[in-house]
Structure 1
Amino acid sequence: MVEVPKTARAVIIGGGVSGCSVAYHLAKAGWTDIVLLERKQLTCGTTWHAAGLIGQLRGSANMTRLAKYSADLYVKLEAETGVATGMRQVGSISVALTAARHEELLRQATVARIFDVEVHEISPAEVKARYPHLNVSDVVGAVALPLDGQCDPANIAMALAKGARLRGARIIEGVKVTGVTEAGRRVTGVDYEVDGEKGHIAADMVINCGGMWGRDLAAQNGVALPLHACEHFYLVTEPIDGLGHLPVLRVPDECAYYKQDAGKMMLGAFEPKAKPWGMGGIREDFCFDTLPEDFDHFQPILEAAMQRMPLFQTAGIHTFFNGPESFTPDDRYYLGEAPELGGYWIAAGYNSVGIVSSGGAGMALAHWITEGEPPFDLWEVDIRRAQPFQRNRRYLKERVSETLGLLYADHFPYRQMATARGVRRSPLHAHLAARGAVFGEVAGWERANWFAEPGQVAEYQYGWGRQNWFANQKAEHLAVRNGVGLFDMTSFGKIRVEGRDARALLQRLCGNDVDVPVGRIVYTQMLNARGGIESDLTVTRLTETAFLLVVPGATLQRDLAWLRRHLGEAFAVVTDVTAAEAVLCVMGPKSREMLASVSPDDFSNAAHPFGTAREIEIGMGVARAHRVTYVGELGWELYVSTDQAAHVFEALLEADPGLKLCGLHTLDSCRMEKAYRHFGHDITDEDHVLEAGLGFAVKTGKGDFIGREAVLRKAEAGLERRLVQFRLTDPEPMLFHNEAVVRDGKIVGPVTSGAYGHFLGGLGGPGLCAVQGGERRGGAWVALRDRDRRPAA
């Protein structure tokens, strides 16, 4: 009989590389009272058959930071634990077969340099010299990372497990967790089965590292963990004479990667149309299992490989492998505490990059758990970005058929998902579609990104330069600046906080003073103890005891979780009312006249000043009109009950048939011209509110609030970095985000966001800016964040 403790500070569920890394890092942080439970044997789910590629270059700065940490850790792990990890820094080469792919590789190399990851651009001839077996006749360019590597995935997990044990952690195999227990919306422990006997461990927290089993386990407690397994293929050749020592090779344009190991070649695939697996559940005895071969599915990858590397034409196949791996709706993994249940933590859904991700992810999650906050901004992989509806299995099955291939797809700016669309729609969706809307998706919401002209194909044509909607955006942008434009912003997250203690709760959470008269709108941030920005929002006082919080649609679950986490004993109710109201934004210098034509109410500055909200009549309906702006022009956000939204839209168009409909791309370019911040790009929880230039929205004199002391300390000590804005003198280059800003030959930080500002000219973003002589001409405004160049961990 396996001996299982009765209590633990933390229980980790799942003995793959993710669970072992979390155990290792928690133990390293000094937590010895932790238990890892594995249903069968360590590594038996996905880890054992992973390819073991250690590529440090990821799509963003912080993800690169985590991957670099993993690589550095794995190099040291064997000496620390005595377990051979097979970690060899053989380097890697990624080749581009198109100019667009080459542009992407060069941009990713910039991200690597920001965090001191060694990277080199190399020519096709240099690729051939380093990889003599490769056909480079159509290679456009390449990048090489000499400190990338490959490893033995199972032994990496075993080394992490041993390191955890050496520091006091308990790791027990053959124990199946059957459920997580809870009381008062907080975990109390886990129930388990072992050798037919049932038991319980009382615990303060539980970490779900269950991989492809994790979704169903989380669902038992109402926790959304949207992931789904797909079949993942690779083959290994027989030994090949004269193969030599080779770096890992990636040919993303052919959806393929290559790895030399023990004189054999491995060929793996990230095909564009994948095969979801496990729709009927996972067998109880699943352990080190493989899936049936499907050579027809893999054949296009192999045929391309035979041309790319002719040795595959003659080499025998030793192993053709098919095994399941978990994928998520947006191709990013999940970390953090579930918003639905206190003490329920997650590290899962690694999208076939679990080995290179888990070292850094385990470090980050352990820091988050033990210190109460993440080590740096982890919003990209935060579990709070997951939407409750995304646990739907039909949705997941369809979506992951696409996301598997996205790892090697062209990562063009503004690229949209093609599968599982149309789940969340505004009441105006059909109206907008009929008028040429081209939709993008955020948090499941279909949002009009731009509007095609009559006769124009209403779809994206992607590229790294000016895309096919550039002129459309210009027309929309100038309509907002010179006349009036209409945006559908129904996707705004809307949270009602109501009750006797609602005011006191929000005063404690918000940096600005929200104790204002009924009808006033306050722009504010919710801060953490470091003065970092947890939420960027407006608060409207509806009554003496009721407030409406408006947040970005993508951060709604995050913001709800933050509010509920700090609710405590306050007599207040926090309610998601997003679906109750549509939002029509009427913006531009002629917006007052526009609204006066459909409403008998007075929209003059005296009757309806900036920063106020009131009920109005519009058409034959009613709405609540908020005079605020995210585009920097006179304008109103009209909050209309969903049943009246279509009528109000029709009334506006009837009054002005030429009313310009505008999309989210225009909203973005307009806000950058006014230096308005965007949460997730320009401001995050690791950016101090003063260094972000938002001190005007913080009122330290109002009394105590979360982050107040950090604001006072920063004001006293002075700023170490700033969010600033500039304009390119050359109007042609297109900047988006993560480009390096170089000063005096040194990288001083990344561009946080960029968009072409058609009124001022060029790309725009937060900070102070000056237009010499008021001249409006081509140029570029860019937001960047000056960063100290901190190490990866």
Structure 2
Amino acid sequence: MPDPAAPDLPAKARVVIIGGGISGCSVAYHLAKLGWTDIVLLERKQLTSGTTWHAAGLIGQLRASQNMTRLAKYSADLYGRLEAETGLATGFRRCGSITVALSAERREEIFRQAALARAFGVAVDELSPAEVQRLYPHLNIDGVVAGVHLPGDGQADPGNIALALAKGARMAGARIVEQVKVTRVTSVAGRVTGVDWDMAGARGHIAADHVVNCGGMWGRDLAAQNGVTLPLHACEHFYIVTETIPDLARLPVLRVPDECAYYKEDAGKILLGAFEPKAKPWGMNGIPEDFCFDQLPEDFDHFEPILEQAVARMPMLAKAGIHTFFNGPESFTPDDRYYLGEAPELRGYWVAAGYNSIGIVSSGGAGMALAQWMHDGAPPFDLWEVDIRRAQPFQRNRRYLRDRVSETLGLLYADHFPFRQMASARGIRRSPLHEALKARGAVFGEVAGWERANWFAREGQEREYRYSWKRQNWFENQRAEHMALREGVGLLDMTSFGKIRVEGRDATAFLQRLCANQIDVPVGRIVYTQMLNPRGGIESDLTVTRLSETAFFLVVPGATLPRDLAWLRRHLTEERVTITDVTAAEAVLPIMGPRARDLLRRVSPDDFSNAAHPFGTAREIEIGMGLARAHRVSYVGELGWELYISTDQAAHVFETLAKAGAEVGLRLCGLHAMDSCRIEKGYRHFGHDITDEDHVLEAGLGFAVKPEKGDFLGREAVLRKRESGLTRRLVQFRLTDPEPLLFHNEPILRDGKIVGQLTSGNYGHALGGAIGLGYVPCRAGETAAELLSARYTIDVAGRIFTAEASLTPLYDPKAHRPQADQVAAAPTPGR
């Protein structure tokens, strides 16, 4: 006899979605809209009972990038039409939003955001203080220097949106069941097989091809059961709601980030919320089992500094009583970006979680994108910013998460200065040379947990960042390091490179199938290549060095290592191949610049001439009393070698180089100088200039693609693009005015019309101006001369600057310098 108390759940489903907040409901809704059947959503308590029910419900369209803005705009449009579709009110209304600046630096930031909004097609207006007050008459504008108005922004009722999405999913055939807890995701041979569930003691199993973890605060611990890295941690989030204020008219959402506050008018009351600089992590030992529509204890002392500033900024609050003091938990991630996609550790295990207090505006678009990804087997466009594959395994550590999220909550409203470094949870991954570089003035930044020397302070100079939208305190340090790489010799520490060995009987055939360039080369050759998807988009940007007939050494960016490993392993079929992460085994010391050969000859008996060691080759060398593998390649566009050294010998090799370097003017250089050199040379940066959405030919990397070698992933897309012609091209720009700075996302104007935005930017010290890269649309058959004959300008915070445009590198366009036996002096600034 069946248990009468057991829920009526199917034995099998195509997909099981775990979690009934707005994220899970959105995924269910969008999968159902794509025609999926056998969708089951299981919620441990009641729909919306975790974070969704107490969210503020702000719907801001503008995000930090084009695709994140695309998702936010989709959410706003979706929420506007849900009521007509489902009959459930969502409370969505486009009341607009205003962000005000209380400093010149914040003004620069919000005006840059306004320029970005124009590039993304989001309606925007820059405001004077008087115009701010006209739109928000209750605001005390003392200290306000500017504002930005987004009239298409809005607000909504988060719980009702989730319920409307759930109803829409049910109407399309999805099954949504409350009071059922998923206790375990089951798997066999690296693939999901279903879920075990529990309901009031009744237990069962649903077999499934896909599982989606939308568990919010509970998601991390659930993922950990399967070895899936989902780094998020709950923090306390505070807001108050006033009593009804007589005659309070409808108002835009107001953000005053310099005072860590946002204001939302709703039904004649004001909600005041805070993103305080140092947050209070919560749930260090896990989220309580019975947590459901619960609040956390009040902490008025913690909120009081925000409230004091708010009363001065909004004087009417002094007379308004407080109806509700609310404290509820929300999940935050180490980099303030949520997680989306298929977990690299387990096939069929999908994630949509960790929304960092922007879950309402994000979930509509995120649910659409994830559903499309699951349906098509590929994301609908570049989603690397939020891709779960960026998560590093060490980030599962709970102490790390607790410390880091105490900072990331406040960073939502902090100044988003370029090059801003995290202050918390540092020092986790260090090169063997960390202390030696620190003793010589290194100032470190952090990427993927790695401490990397970004610049070197002079004797007596402060070893801290002083952030600004103008030249920061290390600008002259970068210039000196940059010019050392161009005119002398510099040493960098790139131990953070991801390093992968691919070896075995079928290693050549496997890499030939995945890489666009010719990989079947003689032993010792280095091949620059991309791994492509079926659309011709770039999944990985790497070098492949042939170590032997059956062994290859792959070098990838440190931040993309989990993604690249996952891509390789997912495409392994019956080949006899072993894929091993060997990142920690070797330190990497690039020796770069015209005098690199002079330095190496002082520490090694080996021959470094072009004849003995040509560009694009690797071989073992003696150095000091140790050994290294010397790769003759360059990411700065100069003569140089990357030295791969066993970590136990790294200190000795470094000391040997440093001692000999005194004779040739060796300078220690940081990542900022490396980046400014690479952008002068037009070298692409994965995640900015090239992504899985960017066709390899339109990215200008056709030289690294060899269709004639035979079949490889993406080959047909390359041939189709060759036949149909390019629709856009990656262009390098140099501002003719030497003063402005470029970072990324500045709008590109062609003959006065916005046609795109910069994908990356830095200062070209050898070229005498700021340099940027960005895609420009082109007509099929349009020649390079026609493309470049236009007048190009760049919008920097509303100011328009003339730019020189080029399809070939503005620095050393013929690439003579990295390959020469003797290297001439670098161009002087300003050329």
Given the two structures, how large is their TM-score scaled by the length of structure 2? 0.93
Q: 1:737 aligns with which of 738, 744, 748?
A: 744
Match of 1:724 in 2: 731
What is the CA deviation profile of residues 687-739 of structure 1, one whole-angstrom value per residue up to 9, with x for unaligned ones?
00000000000000000000000000000110000001121110111010000
Asked if 1:351 is matched to 2:391, the reply is no
Q: Hey, what does 1:701 align to over in structure 2?
A: 708
Aligned partner (choices 282, 286, 292) of residue 281 of structure 1: 286
Equivalent residue for 1:94?
99
- d(CA) in 2 for partners of 1:702, 1:761: 42
- Answering whether residue 680 of structure 2 is matched by residue 673 of structure 1, we say yes
Q: Which amino acid aligns with 2:768?
A: G
CA distance in 1, matches of 2:326, 2:588: 51
Equivalent pair of 2:18/2:214 in contact (CA under 8 Å): yes
Structure 2 CA distance for partners of 1:530 and 1:405, relative to 1, 3 Å: same
The whole-number CA distance in structure 2 between the counterparts of 1:474 and 1:283 is 53
Residue among 548, 551, 554 paired with 1:543: 548
Q: Cα deviations across residues 510-550 of structure 1 (Å, max 9, x unaligned)?
A: 00000001110000000000000000000000011110000
SS in structure 2 of the partner of residue 298 of structure 1: helix
Q: Which range moved further: 325-334 or 566-575?
A: 566-575
> Who is 1:414 aligned against?
419
8 Å contact 2:604–2:623 — kept in the other structure? Answer: yes
Greater alpha carbon shift after TM alignment, 755-764 vs 735-744 = 755-764
2:401 paired residue number: 396
Map 1:213-362; keep pairs closer than 5 Å.
Answer: 213-362=218-367
Partner of 1:452: 457
CA distance in structure 2 between the partners assigned to 1:779 and 1:42 by the alignment? 62
Distance in 2 separating the partners of 1:765 and 1:152: 41
Match of 2:802 in 1: none
Provide the residue aligned with 1:649 in structure 2: 654
Q: Of 60, 77, 81, which aligns to 1:76?
A: 81
Pairwise CA distance, 1:653:
0.8
AA at the equivalent of 2:808? L
Residue 389 of structure 2 corresponds to residue 384 of structure 1: yes
CA contact (8 A) 2:681 2:812 kept: no
Unmatched 5+ residue regions in structure 1?
781-793
Residues 775 and 450 (structure 1), Cα distance of their counterparts in 2 relative to 1, 3 Å cut? closer
1:744 to partner: Cα distance? 2.4
Residue in structure 1 matched with residue 808 of structure 2 by the alignment: 768
Give the aligned partner of residue 115 of structure 1: 120
**Distance (whole Å) between structure 2 residues aligned to residue 702 and residue 743 of structure 1:** 38
Tell me, which stretches of 5 or more residues in structure 2 are unaligned?
774-806, 814-824
Contact 1:675 1:764 in 2 (8 A): no
Which secondary structure does the structure 1 equivalent of 2:446 belong to?
Answer: strand
User: What pairs up with 1:150-169 in 2 under 5 angstroms?
Assistant: 150-169=155-174
Q: What is the 5 A alignment of 1:159-238?
A: 159-238=164-243
Among residues 703, 711, 722, which one is paired with 2:718 in the alignment? 711
Whether the aligned pair in 2 keeps the contact of 1:669 and 1:763 (CA below 8 Å) is: no
1:293 counterpart letter in structure 2: E
In percent, how many aligned pairs have the same letter?
A: 77
In structure 2, what is the equivalent of residue 436 of structure 1?
A: 441
Question: Residues 770 and 592 from structure 1, CA distance in 2 versus in 1: closer, same or farther, beyond 3 angstroms?
Answer: closer
Contact 2:622 2:628 in 1 (8 A): yes
C-alpha separation between the residues in 2 aligned to 1:276 and 1:775?
A: 51
Q: Does the aligned pair in 1 maintain the 2:42–2:176 contact within 8 Å? A: yes
Report deviation, 1:778: 5.4
Does the aligned pair in 2 maintain the 1:730–1:779 contact within 8 Å?
Answer: no
Whether the 8 Å contact between 1:234 and 1:268 is mirrored in structure 2 is yes
Letter in 2 for 1:687: D
Structure 2 residue matching 1:287: 3-state secondary structure: coil
Q: State the SS of the aligned residue for 2:738.
A: coil
The letter of the residue matching 1:725 is: Q
Aligned positions of 1:16-35 closer than 5 A: 16-35=21-40
Q: Residues of 2 paired with 1:422 and 1:771: CA distance?
A: 36
After TM superposition, list the pairs within 5 Å mapping 1:392-791 onto structure 2.
392-657=397-662, 658-765=665-772, 767-770=807-810, 776=827
Residues 155-211 of structure 1 show CA distances to partners (whole Å, capped at 9, x for unaligned) of 000000001111111011010000100001010000110121110000001000000
Contact 1:674 1:765 in 2 (8 A): no
Which whole-Å CA distance do the structure 2 matches of 1:572 and 1:130 have between them? 64
Confirm or deny: 8 A CA contact 2:61 2:72 kept in the other structure.
yes
Q: CA deviation at 1:769?
A: 4.4
Aligned mates of 2:764, 2:463 — CA distance in 1: 22
Cα-Cα RMSD: 1.3
* Structure 1 residue 314 displacement after superposition: 1.4
C-alpha displacement at 1:764, in angstroms? Answer: 3.0
Structure 1 residue 776: Cα displacement: 4.9
Distance (whole Å) between structure 1 residues aligned to residue 748 and residue 697 of structure 2: 21
* Aligned mates of 1:714, 1:779 — CA distance in 2: 37
Tell whether the 8 Å contact from 2:766 to 2:826 is kept in structure 1 after alignment: no
Cα deviations across residues 428-484 of structure 1 (Å, max 9, x unaligned)?
000000011010000000000000000100111100111111110111011111110
> Match for 1:500: what amino acid?
R
For residue 789 of structure 1, what is the aligned residue in structure 2? none
Query: What are the superposed Cα offsets for residues 610-637 of structure 1, whole Å, 9 maximum, x if unpaired?
Result: 1110011111110100000001111000
> For residues 674 and 150 of structure 2, what CA distance do their matches in structure 1 show?
38
Q: 1:559 to 1:754 in 2, by over 3 A?
A: same
- CA distance, structure 1, for counterparts of residue 395 and residue 643 of structure 2: 29
CA contact (8 A) 2:742 2:771 kept: no
| Cα deviation, residue 763, structure 1 | 2.5
2:785 maps to what in 1?
none
Give the Cα separation in 2 of the matches to 1:98 and 1:703.
Answer: 59
Native 8 Å contact 1:532 1:685 kept in 2: yes
Task: Indicate the residue corresponding to 2:790 in structure 1.
Answer: none
* CA–CA distance in structure 2, aligned partners of residues 112 and 630 of structure 1: 32
What does residue 801 of structure 2 align with? Answer: none
State the shift of 1:772 in Å: 12
Partners in 1 of 2:436 and 2:152 — Cα distance? 53
Shift of 1:291: 0.2
- 1:786 counterpart residue number: none
| 1:760/1:694 CA distance change after superposition, 3 Å | same
Instruction: Provide the rounded CA distance (Å) in 1 between the counterparts of 2:532 and 2:809.
Output: 26
- Tell me how far apart the structure 2 counterparts of residues 778 and 672 of structure 1 sit (CA, whole Å): 15
Contact 1:671/1:765 (8 A) holds in 2: no
Offset, 1:672: 1.0
- Give 1:787's aligned residue: none
The whole-number CA distance in structure 2 between the counterparts of 1:295 and 1:179 is 39
Residues 672 and 763 in structure 1, CA contact (< 8 A), matched pair in contact too: no
Hey, what's the Cα distance between the residues in 2 that align with 1:390 and 1:314? Answer: 46
Corresponding letter in the other structure for 1:704? D
Secondary structure in structure 2 of the residue aligned to 1:62: helix
Residues 319-344 of structure 1 show CA distances to partners (whole Å, capped at 9, x for unaligned) of 00000000000000000000011110
SS of residue paired to 2:408: helix
**Offset, 1:745:** 2.6
Is the deviation greater in 294-303 or in 242-251?
242-251
Post-superposition Cα deviations, 1:372-415, rounded to whole Å, max 9, x if no partner, equal 11111100000000000001000000000000011101000000
Paired letter, 2:676: S
SS at match of 1:488: coil
Distance 2:744 2:346 in 1: 34
Distance 2:770 2:691 in 1: 21
The equivalent residue for 2:66 is 61
- Are the equivalent residues in 1 in contact too, given 2:680–2:811 (CA < 8 A)? no
Local SS of the residue matching 2:492: strand
Distance in 1 separating the partners of 2:524 and 2:812: 39
Decide whether the 8 Å contact of 1:510 with 1:524 is kept in 2.
yes
Separation in 1, partners of 2:295, 2:604: 66
> Take 1:764 and 1:114, find their aligned partners in 2: how far apart are those partners?
19
Q: Is 1:143 equivalent to 2:183 in the alignment?
A: no
| Partner AA of 2:156 in structure 1 | C
